[in-house]
Structures are given as structure tokens and as C-alpha cells.
Amino acid sequence: MKMIARLVALWRSLVHAATRIEGDVRNRTPGNSTSRVQAEIESLRKLASNAAKPTYAVTDTQSSDFESIQVDMAAVSDEVRFVYRDRQGAKSARHVSVQKADDEYFEGFCHLRRDVRTFLFDSIVGKVTRMSTGELLTAGKWRDELLRDAD
């Protein structure tokens, strides 16, 4: 059990490092070296995806309730902005580098919280902005496209 926990921690730190490096590259790297750094990021992502697949526990840290669910999320890649409503009804603008998704949830590095977070598609308020294209999509349409592209 400890070995699985260590593998999960390693996997999350690799994904987090790749996402952080990608953000640094976009902000600081001049044109020609971008492809070399992008290749390194991709190799880190492949390494992370080959690590043990964790079981995700979705929790609300503001509440004593604990929901544990087993999910087999598909590996995806997208960067989006949206407004999110938490379980208490508080809204916040989020910028997320999405890494995994299934029909109900998606997971990725939240730039606001500076950590990997799990979100419910149904808790997105309004439209989702795809950062790569500037496209505005409903949460449902974005989820469908995200999962279709994962296959």
C-alpha cells in the first residue's frame, strides 16, 4: 500500500512539474528552443502516464463529508478558463491545465490554487474558454469534445 502511495505521489509531482515547466516555457522561452523544451515536457508526461494509475478520492475540504469514488479517467490535454461554483455556492474564476477526464469529473493543475484539483463538469458556471483557440463552449460541449479527442 505504501508503494502505491509513493507511486501516486511521484506521478502527481511529475505531472505538476511538466505543467509548471510548460507555463514557464510559454512565458520566457524564445522561439527556437521551445520545441526542444516541449519535447522534454512531453517525455515527462509520458513518464507520468506510465506510473501507477491512482484511485481518486474526491473530497470537499470545507466539509466533514467524504465521498470516495473510483474513477478511470482518460488522459486528455487542454487548457481552459471558466467560472466554478463550489459545494458551498462560492464562485471563482479558474484557469486549469486539464490532464484527465471522465463523464462527470476532470482533473488538472489549477493555476489559482497552484495544485492539481478535481472538478465537476456540472459545477461550471457559464461558458468555458479554450486557451489554445479562444473558443467559447458550454461545459457539456467542451466535455464531449475533450472525451472524443481522448479516444
Whether residue 23 is contained in a domain is answered as yes
Domain extent at residue 17: 2-50
Do 94 and 46 have their domain in common? no
pTM of full prediction above 0.85:
no
pLDDT per residue as tens digits for the range 69-79 = 445 788 899 99
Do 77 and 8 have their domain in common? no
DSSP per-residue string spanning the chain: -HHHHHHHHHHHHHHHHHHHHHHHHHHH--GGGHHHHHHHHHHHHHHHHHSPPPPPEEE-TTSS-EEE----PEEEEEEEEEEEE-TTS-EEEEEEEEEEE-SSEEEEEETTTTEEEEEEGGGEEEEEEETTT--EEEHHHHHHHHHHHH-
pLDDT per residue as tens digits for the range 94-132 = 999 999 999 999 999 999 999 999 999 999 999 999 999
